[in-house]
């Protein structure tokens, strides 16, 4: 799964970094939980599963505008926003989702 796939952006934030442009963060809505893709895993782990999930996607540190990092399979908007605030202390919400 590509973190910049055609998924709806439900919230955006930026994280200030001293001496560098802020890192952009997106909260995406996904119609599936993404599987591991490993044929050795059980099917419920290896394959994608239908269901509302969220993804935290953020820019590559050295490539502004390239969202090459993602944390998938988050169960709620609130959990995804809490994850952003924990992983990126001091992140400023530009557009905040409601959950």
Tokens encoding 84: 């952003």
Q: How many separate domains does the chain show? A: 1
What's residue 37's pLDDT?
A: 56
Identify whether 2 is part of a domain. Answer: no
Mean pLDDT of the chain: 80
Residue-range definition of the domain harbouring residue 48: 8-76
Report CA-CA distances (Å) from 60 to 34, 57, 63, 65, 81: 21, 10, 5, 8, 19
DSSP 34: P
Going by C-beta distance under 8 Å and a sequence separation of 6 or more, which residues neighbour residue 1? 34, 70, 72
Percent of the chain with pLDDT over 70: 73
What's residue 4's pLDDT?
A: 47
Phi-psi region of 43 (alpha: psi -120 to 50; beta: other; left: phi over 0): alpha
Identify whether 95 is part of a domain. Answer: no
Identify whether 50 is part of a domain. Answer: yes
Q: Which tens digit of pLDDT belongs to each residue from 64-79? A: 788 878 888 888 999 9
Q: Which tens digit of pLDDT belongs to each residue from 36-60? A: 555 665 666 545 666 688 989 998 7
What's residue 45's pLDDT?
A: 56
């Amino acid at each position: 799964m590509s973190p910049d796939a055609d998924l709806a952006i439900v919230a955006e934030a930026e994280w200030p970094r001293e001496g560098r442009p802020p890192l952009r963060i997106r909260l995406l809505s996904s119609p599936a939980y993404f599987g591991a893709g490993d044929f050795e895993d059980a099917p419920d782990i290896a394959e994608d599963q239908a269901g509302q999930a969220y993804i935290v996607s953020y820019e590559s540190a050295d490539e502004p505008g390239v969202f090459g990092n993602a944390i998938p399979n988050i169960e709620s908007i609130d959990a995804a926003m809490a994850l952003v605030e924990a992983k990126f202390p001091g992140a400023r919400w530009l557009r905040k989702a409601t959950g």
